[in-house]
Chain A
Amino acid sequence: MSETALATPEFSAAGRPAGRLRRRNWPAIIAWAVVLLILVLLPLYLPPGLLSAGQYVMVGAVGAIGLTLVFGQAGQLSLAHAFFLLVGGTAYSVLAGETTQAGAERIVGFGWPPLLALIGAVVITALFGLAFAPVAGRLKGIYLGIASLALVYIGFYLGRALPALTGGASSGRNPEPFSLFGFPFTNEGDIALFGVPLRQPERLWYLFLVVLVIGYLLAAGAMRGRVGRAWRAVRDHEAAAAAMGVNVLRAKAVAFAVSAAYAGLAGVLLVLWYGLLKPDESEFGNYGLNTSIAFLAMVLIGGLGSIPGAVAGALIVWGSQQILTLFAADLGLGTALSGFSPTVISLYVYGLAVIAVVLFEPGGLAAIGRNTVAALRGRRRSDMDSSGASGRRSAPPGKDGK
């Protein structure tokens, strides 16, 4: 059993002495640095249309990270993501906006600084998620999904019934543009990077990028820590998790609150991106069933429970929609009016992607990525030392990403 013998030193290096620093994975760190550098430089080259598409993808990625935590890590199906998006967007608009009179309607606003309003919106959405948690204590699987779907329809109703907050379903309300310590994320003022003027699209890109990176790191930390371990224990075997001291109800509640917080954050970004908060009248709007399903598709395509997978899923699902819309004319697709609009076509695109994932690689893009990395590593090792490669390959992926 050379395999066992090989595994032992690796274990004692990584696992045994608590507190010793882990060996750093330089190739991965370099790869991430390159990706970040590209994302930082992209706005200098991309036209506004593609920049806007990229921002939309980042919004989707933030929301999808939230869903992959609650569904992939904690095993709780939630179709309420669109509702939490609406709550987040509304909370930001109310907290940051000014009270105005629009016709007969008095629209309420507190005029908080935008950063404070953003944080407030995230907290409020998390509380909404927490309020839903007791339902998760009673229902499982698809039943929980259906129950959470009810929230989307409650959102429809509230959006119409509370025009003082949402501006009403017909006109909506304009959210306060984001600004940070007096620096506006609009076209005001002149700044430039390498001679390229940074206007609203570029500034929003950087804002969204920073938010996404922070959200990504926090989620990765939660997943690696005790919270994530409790989630996975609950997901894999509720009774066993309870028997060894995991508070199952609390773990589920935390998962829902965290997931809702991410959705709320995505909701804030979405109103900033759109420049408008407009609750829906049908399930095809920004906060309808379709949006919930789109998020579900993102985490399925990306691989359940995988954070990089969620980001990649957002790129495919919301990215394809934006790209198809942008290049509708070039691709010879009809206009939005002709039934087969780019949005509808993108539904087919990611629908097919979901089917392909289910058929060929249930682990999604995350599993494909892991296998590729393992294969690359295996080959590199086999160049140096063939026995090392066999030991590596026979061991299944260490981190439970699925």
Chain B
Amino acid sequence: MLSVCGLSVRYGRAVRALENVDLEVGDDAVLAVLGGNGAGKSTLLRTISGTLRLHRGAVTAGQVILDDQRIDRLDPAAIVRRGAVAVPEGRQIFARMSVEENLRAGGLGAASAAVRRTARDRVHELFPVLAERAKQRAGLLSGGEQQMLAIGRALMSGPRLLLLDEPSLGLAPQLVGRIASIIAEIHVQGTAVVLVEQNATMALQVADHAVVLEVGRVALTGPADRLAASDDVQRLYLGGHAESDAQADAEVRAAQTSATGVRGLSRWAG
């Protein structure tokens, strides 16, 4: 569905954000894009969704192809019409509008009213909480609900490819799990997903393929389960330097005991 070939992107004259990046997303796939800060993950997503120019970046080489058509020179609205929509980093919901208005705004990019109607039903099925809070101001939702709203808003245009930029950012671990299962559900319903994440554990659970970016280049690529098992990824992104599960468990236990050894909070009695 989507292929990126030899893509290089710069911001201004100096900052090389991406350098000769190649990747493929199948028709019904979830691709995880991993990497540390400044690796170029968000830039990749901006390039695909056509919003790069809003951030004063420019494609210097390579192309982005969606369904056999180049989209790297199209404006974001045209790309949305072709079926690829992005959930930008930091959610960027319309805080002053109601939840319902946010969703309707998401439908502005939809091809037809029929698409909008189907999409709306789908969003309400995926996120019942958004239906319950339809009249509430979006800015008053919790962080997790705002993330759901951002995803729901993007789904309102009935996309075939959903681009997610760090959906787990700033969410409690439990909510990260919720978001992960929602992404899996969206995928099962037939939408391809590109998932940019720092939370590699979550991303590799959901994805079937993964790409690791390092300072703008593809450092590693392969099936998600293989990457999750690889030592490099373990060491760099999964926070593990353990040689085995047993050692990891032991370390966790050691950390817990040392934590209880520290003087905890106590009531001030004086």
Min CB distance B15 to A, Å, is 19
Could you tell me if B76 and A243 are in contact, using CB atoms closer than 8 angstroms? yes
Q: What are the interface flags for B74-91 relative to A under an 8 Å C-beta threshold, 1 for contact and 0 otherwise? A: 011101110001111000
Nearest neighbor of A247 in chain B, beta-carbon distance: B77
B237 at the interface (CB under 8 A from A): no
Using Cβ atoms and an 8 Å threshold, which residues of chain B touch A395?
Answer: 135-136
Instruction: Return B98 CB to nearest CB of chain A, in Å.
Output: 6
A240 CB contact (under 8 Å) in B88, B98, B110, B117: B88
Is A240's CB under 8 angstroms from B93's CB? Answer: yes
Within 8 A of B (CB), among A5-29: 7-8, 10-12, 15-16, 18
CB nearest to B76 among chain A residues: A242
Closest chain A residue, CB of each to CB of B75: A247
Binds B, one of A156-164, A226-234, A257-265, A314-322: A226-234
User: At the interface, yes or no: A236 with Cβ under 8 Å from chain B?
Assistant: yes
Which of chain B's residues 31-82 have a Cβ closer than 8 Å to chain A?
A: 49-51, 54-55, 75-77, 79-81
- A11 contacts B135, C-beta separation under 8 Å: yes
Q: Say which residue of B51, B101, B105, B134 sits within 8 Å of A7 (CB atoms).
A: B134
Chain B residues lying within 8 Å of A400, measured Cβ to Cβ, are 96-98, 101
Q: Is A195 an interface residue (CB 8 A)?
A: no
- Chain B residues near A15 (CB, 8 Å)? 100, 134
A244 in the interface (beta carbon within 8 A) = yes
Judge whether B98 and A232 touch: CB under 8 Å. Answer: no
Count, A-B residue pairs, CB within 8 A: 115
B140 within 8 A of A: yes
Interface assignment of A368: CB less than 8 Å from any CB of chain B:
no
Question: What separation, in Å, do the CA atoms of A7 and B134 have in the docked complex?
Answer: 8
Asked whether B97 lies within 8 Å of A396 as measured between CB atoms, the reply is no
Contact residue among B75, B93, B97, B157 (Cβ-Cβ distance under 8 Å from A232): B97
Report how far A243 CA is from B157 CA in the complex, Å. Answer: 11
Q: Does B217 contact A (CB under 8 A)?
A: no
User: Given the complex of chains A and B, what is the CA–CA distance between A375 and B86 in angstroms?
Assistant: 40
Q: If the complex has contacts A238-B54, A244-B153, A244-B157, are A233 and B94 also in contact, measured as CB distance less than 8 A?
A: yes
**Would you call A241 an interface residue if the criterion is a C-beta within 8 Å of the partner chain's C-beta atoms?**
yes
**Bound CA span A232–B104, Å:** 11
Residue pair B85, A229 in contact (C-beta under 8 Å): no
With contacts A246-B109, A400-B98 taken as known, whether A11 is within 8 angstroms of B81 at the C-beta atoms is: no
Determine if B243 is an interface residue (Cβ-Cβ < 8 Å): no
* B167 interface contact, C-beta 8 A: no
Given A15-B134, A18-B117, A242-B76, are A236 and B97 neighbors across the interface (CB < 8 Å)? yes
Q: Does B188 reach chain A (CB closer than 8 Å)?
A: no
Q: Does A2 contact B (CB under 8 A)?
A: no
The reply to whether the CB of A237 lies closer than 8 angstroms to some CB of chain B is: yes
- Measured in the bound complex, the distance between the Cα atoms of B63 and A48 in whole Å is 70
The answer to whether B248 has its CB under 8 Å from any CB of chain A is no
* Bound-state Cα–Cα, A10 to B131, Å: 10
- Which of chain B's residues have a CB closer than 8 A to the CB of A244? 80, 85-86, 105-106, 108-109, 153-154, 156-157
Do A11 and B94 touch across chains, with their CB atoms under 8 A apart? no
- Nearest CB in chain B: distance from A226 CB, A: 6
> B137 on the interface (CB 8 Å rule)?
yes
B77 proximity list for chain A (CB < 8 A): 242, 245-247, 250
**Contact A398–B104 (Cβ < 8 Å):** no
What residues on A are CB-neighbors of B157 within 8 Å?
244-245
Q: Does A338 contact B (CB under 8 A)?
A: no
Partner of B85, one of A230, A241, A243, A402: A243
Say yes or no: A246-B101 contact (C-beta < 8 A), given A237-B94, A239-B54, A402-B96. Answer: no
The docked-state distance in angstroms from the alpha carbon of A246 to that of B51 is: 11
Asked if B95 CB lies within 8 Å of chain A CBs, one says yes
Is A4 close to B, CB under 8 A? yes
B105→A242 contact, CB < 8 A: no
Q: Could you tell me the distance in whole angstroms from the C-beta of B141 to the nearest C-beta in chain A? A: 12
Q: What residues on A are CB-neighbors of B245 within 8 Å?
A: none
A232 and B80 in contact, given A11-B132, A243-B85, A246-B108 (Cβ under 8 angstroms): no
List the interface of chain B (C-beta within 8 A of A): 49-51, 54-55, 75-77, 79-81, 85-88, 92-98, 100-101, 104-106, 108-110, 113, 117, 120, 124, 131-137, 140, 153-154, 156-157
3 nearest CB pairs, A to B: A245-B109, A245-B80, A240-B92
If A237-B92, A402-B96 are given as contacts, then 7 extra A-B residue pairs at C-beta distance below 8 Å, sorted by A number, are A10-B135, A236-B97, A242-B50, A244-B154, A245-B76, A245-B109, A400-B97
**22 interchain pairs, CB-CB under 8 A:** A7-B134, A7-B136, A8-B131, A15-B100, A229-B105, A233-B94, A233-B105, A237-B92, A240-B88, A242-B51, A243-B76, A243-B80, A243-B88, A244-B105, A244-B106, A244-B154, A245-B79, A245-B109, A246-B108, A246-B109, A247-B77, A400-B96
- What residues of chain A have their CB less than 8 Å away from a CB belonging to chain B? 4, 7-8, 10-12, 15-16, 18, 226, 229-230, 232-233, 236-247, 250, 395-396, 398-400, 402
